[in-house]
Structure 1
Amino acid sequence: MSAADAAFEFGPHSVESEQALLGAILINAAALDGVRHLVEASDFAEAVNGHLYEAMCLRRDAGEPIDIRLVKLTVGDRDLGGMTVGQYLAALAGGATTVINAPGYARSIRHAAQMRRVLETAQAAVGAMTGGEIADPGEYAAGMVDELDAVIVASHGRSVRRMRLGQSAAAVLDRVREAQSGRAQRGAPFGLPGLDRATLGMRDNQLLILAGRPGMGKTTAGIHFALSSARAGYGVGFVSLEMDDMELAERALAAVAYDRRDPISYRAIAQGVDIGESAYRRLDDARRALDRLPFEIEQQPGLTVSQIAARARSLRNRFERAGHYLGLLVIDHIGLIAPSKRYSGNRVQEMTEISGSLKRLAKELGIPILALSQLSRGVESRPDKRPVLSDLRDSGSIEQDADVVLGLFREAYYLEHVAEPTTEQFDRLNVVRDTLEIEILKQRSGPTIRVECFCDVSCNVLAEAARW
C-alpha cells in the first residue's frame, strides 16, 4: 500500500510482512499467540503498524475480541495519506490470505528490525567520527560493540525454544539412564575428584565464582580447572584481564611439567637462565601437550561484559569449525571487567550489572562461566581468615547471581607473613605449607563441603590431598 510504503523510505523494512501479519491476526486472533515471542511493537518499521500490533496485544491480554471495529476504537482515527484507520484495517483484512504463515511474517519483521538497528549503529558511529571532534577511537568501537551486542542478545533471546514440563522431565530421566549406564556427561571437570563429586562439575548455564584474598591461589586454581576441562575435551576460553598470555603459559608449562622430586617453578621458567637441558626437554614435552588442547587466551585488559560476550561467541564459532565446542569460559578476574557508563561511579551498581550480565551470558551460550573474584579486606581483621559469603567484594549481587561460590584459603600464606613466628607457628607452617582449602560456600543444588588439596603455588600445581 502506497501510504504505508511511503511512511518508511529508508533502511531495511518488511512492510508487506507487517501488513500480512496484522491481517492474519484480524482473521484469527489466535495467530497472535504464536508470534508474540518473536516480535514486538517496536520492531515494526511503519509506526501505525506497530501501534495496531500493540493495541491487538492489549485486547488479547484483556480477553476481548480483536476485530476491525474494536481495534479502531482502541487506536482512534487518524489520516494515513488519505486513508482512515478503518479503511486501512479493512484493506489489511481483505489482503490477508492465511494465518499459517504468521510466524514467518513475524520473523521477517524481526529480521528487518535487527538490520535497521545494525544500520543505525553504523550510521551513528560514522556521524560521530566525522563530526569534527577528535576522540579516542576505542570509545567509538566500545560503544558500537555494546549496541551490536544488544542486537545479538535480543536475537538469541527470542529464539529460545519453549519446552513443556513433561518434555523436560523426560530429558531428566534420559540423563538418569545415562548415569546408570556410566555414559552420563556431567559438567566440565574441576580436576579434583571430591569437588567434582560434590558439584557434578561446572555445569552448563552456571555462573561459578572462585573467590579469595590475594595470595590464596585463585589463578593457580583457575588455570588448573581450565586445563582439567581442556584435557577432558571441553573447549576453554580464558579471559585474562590481568596477566598476559606469556605469564599464563609459564604457569601452565610449570604445572604440566611438574615432578615433585624436581619441580620447575614458573618464576624459573620466566628467568630462563637456570633451566638445564633435562628440564628444558620436560618443558618441551609439556609444550606439545598444551598445543593439543582446545584452550585459547584472550588477554586484552579493560574489556566490558559485552566485549567479552562478543569474543566468546567468536571463539565458539572457531572451536566449532575445528571440531570442538566451547565448554568453559574463565574470567580472571571479575573486578577488572570494565563497567558500562550506566552506573558510572557507583561501584555496587556496576558490580550488580556485571554479575547479572555474566549470568545471562552463561545461559545464552549454554556453558559454565567461572569468574575469579577478590574478597574484601574484612577477612584480615578476623582471627579465622577462612572466607564466608559476606566477604564477596563490592556487591551482594555476586552471591545472588552465582550458582556456585568457592572460597580459597591457604593458612601457610598468613604463617609466612608473621614477623616473628613462634616455634608452634613454625612447626605449623611446615605441616600446611602445600595445603589449599577449597570450600563450597554456596551451591544451589548440592552440598557445601570443604576439599583439602595439595598446592604448590610456585609451580601452579593443584591436586586433591587424599590422592597425592
Structure 2
Amino acid sequence: MASEPIPFPAPASADESGIRALPANLEAEAAFLGAALIDNRVIEEHAGNLRPQHFFEPLHQRIYERILQLLDRNATVTPVTLKPYFEADEALKELGGITYLARLTADGQGLLAPRELAAQIYDLALLRELVSVGRNLVTGAMDTSNDVAPMQQVEEAEAALYAVADGASSGREAQTFAVATRISLGMIEQALLSGGHVSGTTTGLTSVNEKIGGLHESDLLILAGRPGMGKTALATNIAFNAADRMRRDLVDGIAADKSVGAAVAFFSLEMSADQLATRILAEQSGISSEMLRMGKISRDDFQQLSFASQRLAELPLYIDDTPALSIAALRARARRLKRRHDIGLIVVDYLQLLQGSGRAQDNRVNEISEISRGLKTLAKELNVPVLALSQLSRAVEQREDKRPMLSDLRESGSIEQDADIVLFVFREDYYVGSREPKRPVEGDDAKTHDAHAQWAADMERVYGLAELIVAKQRHGSTGKVRLRFEPRITKFSDLAEGDRASNGYD
C-alpha cells in the first residue's frame, strides 16, 4: 500500500505575476530529512557542508537545525524525540501537526541516495544566492547617482561571487554562541595536539609560537622595522615554514584541516618572484644568496642547490610580484587563490606600496587607513591570517634606544588600531656595526686601540642576535622574543637552548 503523500508548504518563491520561482526542491529536502531521521549516520556521512540555511523551506530549516543540535548532544533523533520541540510550531500545524514528522520517514526513499540529495539541496541554495547577487548587481549598476563608484561595485560583486563559490554567503549571519564555542574548542584542541604551542598556523619558530600561539585565523598581523632589520627575511622564513609544514603533513597523511601548516599567498610588491625564490633556496641549501646571484659556487654547491630545488618543487607557496597593486586588486587576487588553492596564510610585502581606491590619494594618511582596513576585512572574509609588512618612521633613528614603539608606525595610527598583533624586528648588531670607530694602525695611541677593542667586544656580544618585539597582542601579553639571525643566508631561527635560558623572551 502506497504511503500517503507529504503535504508540502506552498512554495514561497512562486510569484503570481508570472516571475519565475527561485530554484528549490522541497521533495529532495523532505527526503533527506526523512533519511536522516531513519538513520542518524546520514548526517555525519553525507551532509558535508549542508547547513540549515541551505534548505529553502523555513520549516525544514528548523527541523534540520534541531536534528544537528540533538546529534551534537549525542542523542538519537527520531520523529518521537523531535516532537516536544515542534508541538507549538504554527507552520507544522498547517501541515497536519506532528504527523508531518512521521510522514517524512514513511517510505525511506531518501536512504537510496542521501549524498545526491544533500548535494542537490546545497547546489540549489548556491543558485538562490547567485540569483540574489545578480539582482543586487543589476540594481547597483542601474544606479546613476553622483556618488556612483563603478570599480567599488566590481569589487563588491567579486566579493559576493567569491562568497557564493565558497558556500559562505548563506552562513554569514549571526552565529549562536554554541557554534562559536565549538570553533573555539577546535582551536584549543589543535593547540593541545601540537604540544601546547600552536592554536593557529605555525611560524616555524618555536619561541615565537610560544609567545603568540601561531598565526590565528582572521587576524591582521603587522610586522614592522627600519630598513636593514630583516623584516622581509623574517616574513619569507615564516611563509616558507608554514608552506613546508603543510607539504610535509600532507606527505605524512595528515589532513589539511589538521595541519598547523598552510598554503601561502605571498604578495611581493618590492621584490620579484625569482629574488624571493633565491632567498629561500639560499636558506635551504646553506649557500650565501649573494654567491648564488653572482654564480660563485662550486659544482658540489650546485648539486646541493638542485637537491634543494627538487625538495621545494611541491611547496604550496604562491608568489604574486605584480607591482603597484591596489588594495581592491589584491583582495580580488587573494580570493581567487583561496578558491583555487585553499590558501591559509597571506603575506603582503609591504603595506605602504599598496594603493588605495583613488578617492583618498590626496591624503596619504586616509589612504593608508583604507588599506589597513581592507587587509583586516580580507583576513575576516577569507578567515585566514594576513601578515603585512610595514615601514617605520625615521623617528627611531633620532633616539638613543633604537627599539621601535607603536608610535613609530608610519603615516597612520589606523595600522595600530586595525592590527590584532604588531611585531617589530630589531637587530642591535646593525646599529653597532654602523658605529665602528677608526681601525687602529701601527703608531696609533692607546685610546684608538681601546675604542676599537671596546667596539669589537660589543659587536661580538650582539652579532647574529635579533629581537622580535610583540608590541600589541589581542590574544595575549606583549614582550620580546630573542632569535638567531644568519645574514649570509637571511635566515631567522630559534636560539640554542643554552642561549634561550639566559636570553629568553620577556
SS of residue in 2 equivalent to 1:375:
coil
**Alignment partners' CA distance in 2, 1:375 and 1:213:** 6
Do 1:149 and 1:306's aligned partners in 2 also have CA atoms closer than 8 Å?
A: no
Alignment-mate amino acid for residue 289 of structure 1: R
Note closer, same or farther for the CA distance 1:152–1:394 as it changes in structure 2 (3 Å cut). Answer: farther
**Alignment partners' CA distance in 2, 1:461 and 1:181:** 28
| Matched ranges for 1:199-278 at <5 A | 199-233=212-246, 234-258=262-286, 264-272=287-295, 274-278=296-300
Do 2:223 and 2:390's aligned partners in 1 also have CA atoms closer than 8 Å?
A: yes
Correspondence for 1:304? 326
The CA deviation string for residues 329-351 of structure 1, in whole angstroms up to 9 with x for no partner, is: 10000111111112122111111
The CA deviation string for residues 88-142 of structure 1, in whole angstroms up to 9 with x for no partner, is: xxxxxxxxx99xxxxx999877633522565689999xxxxxxxxxxxxxxx9x7
| Bigger mean CA offset, 244-253 vs 185-194 | 185-194
RMSD: 3.6
CA shift for structure 1 position 177:
5.0
Do 1:348 and 1:394's aligned partners in 2 also have CA atoms closer than 8 Å?
A: yes
Correspondence for 2:416? 399
**Alignment partners' CA distance in 1, 2:139 and 2:291:** 53
**Alignment partners' CA distance in 2, 1:242 and 1:315:** 20
The CA deviation string for residues 142-172 of structure 1, in whole angstroms up to 9 with x for no partner, is: 7785354354478656641532113323443
Counterpart of 2:395 (choices 378, 398, 413) is 378
| Bigger mean CA offset, 224-233 vs 302-311 | 302-311
Note closer, same or farther for the CA distance 1:170–1:411 as it changes in structure 2 (3 Å cut). Answer: same
SS of residue in 1 equivalent to 2:312:
helix
Counterpart of 1:466 (choices 483, 496, 499) is 496
**Alignment partners' CA distance in 2, 1:238 and 1:317:** 16
**Alignment partners' CA distance in 1, 2:169 and 2:410:** 30
CA shift for structure 1 position 202:
0.4
Q: Which has the higher contact order (CA 8 A, sep 6+)?
A: 1
**Alignment partners' CA distance in 2, 1:248 and 1:451:** 25
CA shift for structure 1 position 425:
2.5
**Alignment partners' CA distance in 2, 1:239 and 1:115:** 30
CA shift for structure 1 position 395:
0.7
Correspondence for 1:146? 155
Correspondence for 1:434? 464
Do 1:218 and 1:372's aligned partners in 2 also have CA atoms closer than 8 Å?
A: yes
Note closer, same or farther for the CA distance 1:331–1:175 as it changes in structure 2 (3 Å cut). Answer: closer
SS of residue in 2 equivalent to 1:291:
coil
CA shift for structure 1 position 278:
1.2
Unmatched 5+ stretches in structure 1: 6-13, 18-33, 39-96, 99-103, 125-139, 259-263, 320-324
| Bigger mean CA offset, 455-464 vs 196-205 | 455-464
Do 1:157 and 1:364's aligned partners in 2 also have CA atoms closer than 8 Å?
A: no
CA shift for structure 1 position 409:
0.6
Q: TM-score of the superposition, structure 1-length normalised?
A: 0.68
Note closer, same or farther for the CA distance 1:232–1:112 as it changes in structure 2 (3 Å cut). Answer: same
SS of residue in 2 equivalent to 1:198:
helix
Matched, 1:283 2:305: yes
**Alignment partners' CA distance in 2, 1:205 and 1:193:** 22
Do 1:121 and 1:147's aligned partners in 2 also have CA atoms closer than 8 Å?
A: no
Alignment-mate amino acid for residue 210 of structure 1: L
The CA deviation string for residues 303-346 of structure 1, in whole angstroms up to 9 with x for no partner, is: 11221122112212322xxxxx3111100001111111121221
Counterpart of 1:361 (choices 370, 374, 378) is 378
Do 2:237 and 2:491's aligned partners in 1 also have CA atoms closer than 8 Å?
A: yes
CA shift for structure 1 position 301:
0.7
Correspondence for 1:292? 314
**Alignment partners' CA distance in 2, 1:447 and 1:417:** 33
**Alignment partners' CA distance in 2, 1:344 and 1:414:** 35
| Matched ranges for 1:47-446 at <5 A | 111-116=130-135, 146=155, 148-149=157-158, 151-152=160-161, 159-173=171-185, 175-176=187-188, 179-180=191-192, 186-233=199-246, 234-258=262-286, 264-272=287-295, 274-319=296-341, 325-418=342-435, 420=437, 422-423=451-452, 424-446=454-476
Do 2:187 and 2:200's aligned partners in 1 also have CA atoms closer than 8 Å?
A: no
Unmatched 5+ stretches in structure 2: 1-13, 23-51, 57-93, 96-122, 144-149, 247-261, 439-450, 500-506
**Alignment partners' CA distance in 1, 2:15 and 2:396:** 70
